Structures are given as structure tokens and as C-alpha cells.
Amino acid sequence: MAFTWPVRIYWEDTDAGGIVFYANYLKFFERARTEWLRSLGLGQQALRESAGGMFVVTDVQLRYLAPARLDDELIVTARALESGRASLTIAQQALRPGAAGGAPDTLLCEGTIRIGWVDAATLRPARIPPAVLQRLLPSP
């Protein structure tokens, strides 16, 4: 089950043609990941203070399929795909919800984002604490 976060498109998100500037999808994905972590009780500042580490983006793969426009309301998703000892891969999508009456959502952008856990003091890779992994990847 994917976490969902609503996003409204404002002037600042668009280019001269009123279409979302491509790099802004990275901002939308970042916000959704941050809120997903927060919803799991893993606020990023609290993680840094309590566990001594933090997540950093190490790789991004994006595919653009359709444009979002000024005033659109989007749903941005985040769900864990896989984890390693020091990294987590997250699948994300930006969707325009279908119109009332059951029309399907329109997939605008999708991607996978790999985040790595680093020691907050040294910025060196470290193992993700088991308690953090348990919250991110609950057992079935």
C-alpha cells in the first residue's frame, strides 16, 4: 500500500507555458517521502537527533508521461520497494486524480529514488538502524 500526499500546482511550479517544470517533480517526491516518514513516526530531525543518522538521496530515475498544469491537484505516492543494509529504494508516482464518476487517475511522472543512511556527523554510509527498518518495511 502506497502512502499518498496531495499537491496543488502553483505559478511557482510552472514554466512560461503554465506546465509544471520537470525538476519540480523531485520537490513533490521529496515532500511526499518526508511526510511518509513522518506518518511512520520517523521525522527526519528526530531521526538525526535520536539515531545519529539521516537519509540522503543517492540515485534518482524518473519517467515523464504527461504534463501537470497550473491549479491541478495531484496525488503523490511513496512506497518502499526494497532495502539493503544502508539504503532503501522507494517507488514514487505523481498522479492527476480521475474525474468524478470513476474515471481512472492519470499517471504524470514516476520514478525510483534510492536513499542511503549516513552518520550525521561524518556523512559516511552506515547501517540503517533495525528499529527504523521495522517501521519502513513492516512484516506481512
Tens-digit pLDDT profile for residues 25-68: 999 999 999 999 999 999 989 889 988 999 999 999 999 999 99
pLDDT at 139 over 90: no
d(CA 15, CA 134) in angstroms, rounded, equals 41
Assess whether pLDDT exceeds 70 at residue 138: no
**What integer pLDDT is reported at residue 76 of this predicted model?**
98
Candidates 29, 30, 11, 32; CA nearest to 21 is 11
Instruction: Tell me if 25 sits within 8 A of 67, measured CB to CB.
Output: no
Whether 119 is a known active-site residue: answer no
pLDDT at 98: 87
Tell if the pTM clears 0.85, that is, is over it: yes
**Reported confidence tier of residue 1, pLDDT bands at 50, 70, 90:** confident
Can you state the angle between helices 24-39 and 44-51, rounded to 10 degrees? Answer: 60
Strand partners for 16: none
Alpha carbon dihedral 85, 86, 89, 94, in 10-degree steps, equals 150
Set 13, 15, 72, 105: catalytic member: 15
